[in-house]
Amino acid sequence: MKIFFKPLITRLLIVSALLCATVPALSQKADTVLPKPGYETAVLLSEYISHASVSGTEKYAGEFLAGVCRERGLHLRIFTDTVDSYNFAASLYPLDSGKPNIIFLNHIDVVTPGEESGWKYPAFSGTIVEDTVWGRGAIDMKQAVIMQLMALSTMVDRAAAEDLPMNVTLLCVSGEETYGLNGSKIISERYLPELNPAVLIGEGGIGSREVLTGDPQRPVFAISLSEKRALWLRLHLAYESSGHGSVPPPDYASKLMISSLNSLTEIRPQIRFDDLSKLMFRNLGKLEGGLTGFLISHPVLFKPLVAGGLRKNPLMASTVTNTVTITHLATTECGINQIPQEITAFLDCRLLPGTSTTHFLSYLWQKLDNSHIELSVIEETQGSDSTVPDRYYSLLAESIEDVYPDAGVVPVLFPATSDNNYFRNAGVPVYGVIPVLISQQLLETIHNYNERIPVEALHYGTEVYRLFLEKSMPDTDQP
């Protein structure tokens, strides 16, 4: 208990100090202390971050979150309740009301923090300093559910008074960072009828600047309509050779593997535009304007002109190519003067919709060109058809534009993989966006050290969710 409460008290003191520091100069009365917008959200996020939830240990943080949802008047439905698979819904109305449901999907789990020394403030402290909340999950994605909860809280009284035609649910799941097997897979296979989704908003796009070359300050928000799928591969190579590093044999395991991997690094992947990427470039081109915008809007027609620019931008390139990243290399434990007889490499491949695993593997096999390599698939995630933008897409875009008046909104193919495809494949319209405006520098802290989010971003993000809910809820005739 001591271990837990000490940091909690320290954190609350820091927060209180910050709240006090925000007394506006114009208010001279001691009793009119007005916290900055977003601070209540920040304090709650800080608390949630301090409940560590690395994949496989979600229950502790999940129970905390469920408790907060209950206190705020939401109805709970716990679907599964184990340490590594804690999945629940917190809804405006009980699920058995059968109302069509606007679902906000979020994952409780976070990735490991790495070395504690890499963090400016401890990864699970939830420290709030410099108008920023620090800690693992601050962007991926504990902030989302806290903002959604703050937005949904504003509807609880109205829901009690009016019998609204729609339900709204925070769907909180485990194991997103480990392919969704302990969370979204279970929910999408067993509990979808009970959830009765009209639409699901998950993670995916975000708002950032420095997207438009002609107007780098203009924010652009991406809403993902589909995702690439992951194909994780293991390459194993065993080769018997002499063992002393002082006399190199003509061939040995590490040399053979590196030479094959080298040919993968030299791949110049084919650029492919499908309907979604064409839609994405058409919208980006409109925002960009001018000649550049015109070229971007017609990527197929001007492919020779736009291809060079696309290849230089890793994010853009990843939306129109299949990618291969060599993430790990491992040999058996041995000294620097010993030649290992086996070596293993791991590849993280991300495939565009419509790419068949068999074709891709035979292409890779050809490139590796080494019969000593054994190739095996560790895991592959599901692809899905793209969500066709409907009313909810327009309402999301409108809400973003209301809160950030100069922002542009673009439908995109998400280059990474999330839980969203489980629900797309079950026939649910799914949009991937967390409506916060984040600098490039902060985006790079995702899955990295010093993950953090400004309080201001939390405030505006909450406002987008609140407006979206208001716009989504059809008018009811009050009795």
Q: Which residues bind Zn ion (CB under 5 A)?
A: 140-141, 203
Q: Which is nearer to Zn ion, 155 or 437 (CB)?
A: 437
In the complex, least distance from residue 380 CB atom to Zn ion, rounded to whole angstroms: 19
230 versus 467: smaller Cβ distance to Zn ion: 230
Q: Which is nearer to Zn ion, 203 or 288 (CB)?
A: 203
Cβ neighbours for 120, distance < 8 A, ≥ 6 positions apart? 134, 450
Considering beta carbons, is residue 203 or 451 the nearer one to Zn ion? 203
- What is the smallest separation between the CB atom of 145 and Zn ion, expressed in angstroms? 11
Q: How near is the Cβ of 203 to Zn ion at its closest, in Å?
A: 5
Tell me the helix, strand and coil percentages in the chain, rounded to 5.
40, 25, 40
Smaller CB distance to Zn ion: residue 58 or 203? 203
Q: Which helix (H) or strand (E) holds 471?
A: helix 455-472
CB of residue 204 vs Zn ion: minimum separation in angstroms?
A: 9
CB neighbours (10 Å) of residue 302? 13
Cα radius of gyration (the chain): 25
429-461 burial code (b ≥16 CB/10 A, e <16): bbbbbbbbbbeeebeebbeebbbbbbbbbbbbb
Residue nearest to Zn ion (CB): 140
Q: Which amino acid is it at 72? A: R
Task: Give the nearest distance from C-beta 332 to Zn ion in angstroms.
Answer: 34
| Minimum CB distance to Zn ion, residue 110 (Å) | 8
Pick between residue 141 and residue 171 the one whose CB is nearest to Zn ion.
Answer: 141
Alpha carbons 100 and 80: distance in angstroms, whole number:
22
What gap in Å lies between CA 318 and CA 337, rounded to an integer?
A: 40
Closest by alpha carbon to 176, among 423, 431, 419, 378?
419
Distance, CA of 442 to CA of 169 (rounded, Å) = 29
- For residues 397 and 412, give the distance between their C-alpha atoms in angstroms, rounded to a whole number: 13
Nearer to Zn ion, 41 or 143 (CB): 143
CB of 138 to Zn ion, least distance (A): 12
Q: Which residues contact 312 (CB under 8 A, 6 or more apart)?
A: none
Q: Would you call 340 helix, strand, or coil by DSSP?
A: coil
Output the smallest distance, CB 62 to Zn ion, in A: 15
Do 173 and 183 meet the contact criterion of CB atoms below 8 Å apart?
Answer: yes
Nearer to Zn ion, 339 or 434 (CB): 434
Nearest residue to 79 via CA among 8, 144, 174: 174
Cα–Cα distance list, 182 to 187, 351, 463 (Å): 9, 23, 31
CB nearer Zn ion, residue 111 or residue 426:
111
Tell the smallest beta-carbon distance from residue 347 to Zn ion (Å): 22
Angle between helical axes of 142-153 and 455-472 (0-180°, round to 10): 50
State in angstroms the smallest separation of the CB of 133 from Zn ion: 16
Measured from the CB atom, the residue of 140 and 463 that comes closer to Zn ion is 140
Q: What is the dihedral of CA 99, 100, 101, 102, to 10 degrees?
A: -130
Least Å from the CB of residue 179 to Zn ion? 12
Instruction: State which residue, 18 or 65, has the beta carbon closest to Zn ion.
Output: 65
